[in-house]
Structure 1
Amino acid sequence: MKKNNIGYLLREGVRGIFLHGFMSFAAIWVTVACLIIMGTFGLVLFNLNEMIVELEQENEMLVYIDDTYSEAEAKSVGSQINLIANVHSAQFISREEALASFVEEQQDVDLFAGLEASTFRDRFVVTLEDNSKMRQTEQDIRAIEGVADVTAHYEIAEGFQTVQQILNIASFIIIAVLLVVSMLIISNTVKLAMYDRKDEIAIMKMVGATNGFIRWPFVVEGFILGIVASALAFFLEWGLYNLLETQVAAVDSLNLITIVPFIEVVEIVAIGYAVVGFIVGVIGSLLSIRRFLQV
């Protein structure tokens, strides 16, 4: 394509935006609203997923060592536990430490003053790489010589997996619906522009203009609308996210809610908005053009 043609197509695309100023303005801000809803929902799900991962890491397995083993022998079992592929860490807890922890948790400390450490077993607190493999990991740990018993909470691990699956499905459906809505908005805006110029398009077709030559100004128009909307949505999302983060930090004195700083996800969000803006703008334009090219 010649440089003159490229310049013409770009100018026509930009001219179409200003020619239909109100509709372009409305399309941009409605698309911004859809993008912010998509982005906010995506970030909320991302943070929930991070919280679930943290909670999963707290869903630990307790591995009790044979009470005939000395402390040195019990510690040696830990090296075998760490060899299991799905084990992230294995922290040794001695009898004495287990006793001190138990007494500390009781309301009436004096009641357990005479309790001896030999009542407890040496143990390991084991965290896993993947909680979905908890049952198999338990079997592998039980097979190690010196392991007397293993406590594992399968129902908690499976509950976390169920919540993650529901969140993933819900996010896919909602984001897909909002993406379609945004494309239709851009499509209708470009369609109005084409309707106003339908006679001009018909004349261009009759004098031999190709479909591509006619199509590109409207694709440029849709692309610009989508990118401008995505840029505005990105910066508004950044501000809203930081505001929410500040508000949560102010009321959550116990740090029960963990919010990932926006700076850690800024690149992903920026790329996501740019890609969605491009898709919404270009595909929305292409969808609206087809009927008008059939002259």
Structure 2
Amino acid sequence: MGDRQIWYHIREGFRSIFTHGLMSIAAVCMTVACLLIMGSFSLIAINANHVLGDLEDDNQFLAYIDDSLTRAQAQALESQIKAVPNVADIHFVTKEEALANFKANQERQDLFDNVESDTLRDRYEIHVVDIQLMQETVDQVKDIDGIAKVQASLEIADGFVMLRNVATALAIILVVMLVLISISIIANTIKLATFTRREEIAIMKMCGATNWFVRWPFLVEGMILGLTGGIIAFFCQWGIYGLIVKAIDQSDLLGIISTLPFSSMSHWILLVFLAAGFVIGAGGSVMAIRKFLKV
């Protein structure tokens, strides 16, 4: 394809956009709306995964030391526990520290003044790297000589994993559905513009124009509309996300829900919106022009 043909296709693509101004605006608006819905669901899924990740980081299990071991022997088990795969971090808690922590969480601390620290055991607080491997990690720590028993909330860990997997699966399904809907919408919008030029396309085909020669101006038109929609959707998403984060910060949910800053995701969101707009525009154009090339 020569330079003259390239510029012809670009010029015709731009001309068609301005010739069918209302249809072009409708295509951009529909693309923006679909990208915003897709982006909003994706951001919800990303933040939900982030919150679940924070909960997973806080999730831990306890390994209690056998009473027959001395304090030095108990602390010597640290290297063996750290050597277990999937162990991220461990913290040794003495009997005295455990009792103090227990009293601190009680409303009537004076009721426990006569409780001796020897009623408790030294223990290790163990954090894991991957919560999905919690059961295997617990079993391996339990097998270490000197560990009397292990306390782990495996049901909670399994619940976190299930929630994360469900959130991810729903996000993927919704994104795929919205992309397909967006392609269909922009295809129908461009098809309306193409319908008004069906006689022109038929004449070009009878004069020997190839399918791609006819198709390229519409592809350029669709790509421009899609990319324009992607850029507009990006800035709209930025503003909407900022308003939602501000509302959360001013509410009582701040201690429960933590949100990621938009700036940490902005370059990826812009890239995805531009790519989605490009695919939606190009895909819609190809679908719209296909019928009219059969002359």
**Residues 254, 46 of structure 1: CA spacing in aligned structure 2 closer, same or farther, 3 A cutoff?**
closer
Q: Deviations over 1:263-288 (max 9, x none)?
A: 11111111110110111000111011
CA deviation after TM superposition for structure 1 residue 110, in Å? 1.6
**Residues 71, 180 of structure 1: CA spacing in aligned structure 2 closer, same or farther, 3 A cutoff?**
same
* Residue of structure 2 in register with 1:15 after alignment: 15
Q: CA RMSD in A?
A: 1.1
CA distance in 1, matches of 2:262, 2:45: 14
CA deviation after TM superposition for structure 1 residue 14, in Å? 0.5
TM-score normalized by structure 1?
0.97
Q: Deviations over 1:193-216 (max 9, x none)?
A: 211111111111111111111000
* Residue of structure 2 in register with 1:55 after alignment: 55
2:23 and 2:193 in contact (8 A); partners too: no
CA deviation after TM superposition for structure 1 residue 253, in Å? 6.5
CA distance in 2, matches of 1:64, 1:259: 36
Q: Indicate yes or no: 2:293 matched with 1:286.
A: no
* Residue of structure 1 in register with 2:127 after alignment: 127
* Residue of structure 2 in register with 1:29 after alignment: 29
CA distance in 1, matches of 2:279, 2:25: 19
CA distance in 1, matches of 2:220, 2:253: 50
TM-score normalized by structure 2?
0.97
* Residue of structure 1 in register with 2:249 after alignment: 249
Question: Matched residues, percent identical?
Answer: 43
Code of the residue aligned with 1:181 in structure 2: it is I
CA deviation after TM superposition for structure 1 residue 27, in Å? 1.1
Secondary structure, counterpart of 2:43 in structure 1: helix
**Residues 184, 205 of structure 1: CA spacing in aligned structure 2 closer, same or farther, 3 A cutoff?**
same
* Residue of structure 1 in register with 2:167 after alignment: 167
Q: Which runs of 5+ in 1 are unaligned?
A: none
CA distance in 1, matches of 2:170, 2:142: 38
CA deviation after TM superposition for structure 1 residue 290, in Å? 1.0
2:23 and 2:190 in contact (8 A); partners too: no
* Residue of structure 2 in register with 1:192 after alignment: 192
* Residue of structure 2 in register with 1:2 after alignment: 2
* Residue of structure 1 in register with 2:206 after alignment: 206
* Residue of structure 1 in register with 2:216 after alignment: 216
* Residue of structure 1 in register with 2:259 after alignment: 259
CA distance in 2, matches of 1:263, 1:231: 16
CA distance in 2, matches of 1:11, 1:254: 52
CA deviation after TM superposition for structure 1 residue 254, in Å? 5.1
